[in-house]
Amino acid sequence: MLTHQWPNAENPSRVFMLGGGGFLGRAVRAALDAAGIPSVAPLRSELDLGADDAGERVAAMLQPTDSVLMLAAVTPDKGRGLAPFMQNLKMAAAACAAMQKVRPAHVVYLSSDAVYPASAARITEETCTQPPDLYGMMHLAREVMFKTEVQAPLALLRPTLIFGAADPHNSYGPNRLRRMARKDGRITLFGQGEEMRDHILIDDVVALIRLALCHRSTGTLNVATGQSISYADLARKIAAQFERPIEIAGTPRQNLVTHRHFDVVALHKAFPSFTFTSLDAGLARAHREMLEQA
């Protein structure tokens, strides 16, 4: 769970973003701008975290009063296996090296619920971490790196599946289902879509990141809504947003059914006034934005 160094929210003097050019980073930066919170987010062309001198270059840009937001990662849609695993660790090592030279005021690391075992159906922050793959292991290793190598207040945020119209990732979730429906008039599910999952709108993730920054929070928090839905029901909700009929088709099941539910009491305790966007409202917004982008 999180504890707050600033019980009453205050704007950090500056947020130094690593990975600020991605889907989530751009949304966070827009929110910080809107709130009048200064931020810097070096572009990949300005700062390659995978470069050998990345640590020194970050250190040169970093100020001790900065709150560091680490979003940079090679995500599974860009590749799986050892190469991206090592690349991600190298990026985190560069960030650690920089923060060892210039200790920031606060660090927020966006981890992932991939640190939990695939078989864990009910997740809390107390659930033992046991990543089923290298992607989850990478996030867990990075968490440990930041905890042990950086002497600054640290918040670890572990989001569930994030969705939003601008999300370029195409993992199995609302984004892919919506794109399938739009392109093919058909949503294809694994099995009959029995798996229960928790999907969170990007706006809510951004709001929670901002809260963690403004409270200078420390500790670990799962970023999830606490409301899980089966892929079959999710597909029906998405299909209902299209004017034309959308076919929902199952496929022969290849893997065992697993479910994931989050107990979000720790989030309620950390941010009592925070309220989630309902899934229906979130899906409607993502659908609307998709049409606007067309």
Handedness of CA 97, 20, 69, 15 (dihedral sign): positive
Site for other proteins in 105-124 (CB under 8 A): 124
Residues sharing a CB contact under 8 Å with residue 206, sequence separation 6 or more, in sequence order: 24, 27, 28, 31
The residue among 20, 75, 23 whose CA lies nearest residue 43 is: 20
- Closer to other proteins by Cβ: residue 149 or 263: 263
Give how many residues touch other proteins by CB under 8 A.
Answer: 12
CB 192 within 8 A of CB 229: no
Q: Is 226 in the site for other proteins (CB under 8 A)?
A: yes
**Residue span binding other proteins (CB under 8 A) among the ranges 35-43, 182-190, 193-201, 268-276:** 268-276
Pairing of the two strands 122-123 and 261-262: parallel
CB 124 within 8 A of CB 263: yes
**Residue span binding other proteins (CB under 8 A) among the ranges 111-119, 148-156, 172-180, 264-272:** 264-272
What's the CA gap between 158 and 162, in Å, rounded? 11
Q: Is 10 in the site for other proteins (CB under 8 A)?
A: no
- Tokens 């670890």 sit on residue: 156
Q: Is 219 in the site for other proteins (CB under 8 A)?
A: no
- Tokens 């640190």 sit on residue: 115
Q: Is 230 in the site for other proteins (CB under 8 A)?
A: no
**Residue span binding other proteins (CB under 8 A) among the ranges 93-101, 128-136, 137-145, 260-268:** 260-268
**Residue span binding other proteins (CB under 8 A) among the ranges 50-58, 78-86, 89-97, 273-281:** 273-281
The correct pick among 52, 82, 126, 244 for binding other proteins (CB under 8 A) is: 126
Which parts of this chain interact with other proteins (CB under 8 A)?
124, 126, 226, 263-265, 268-269, 272-273, 275-276
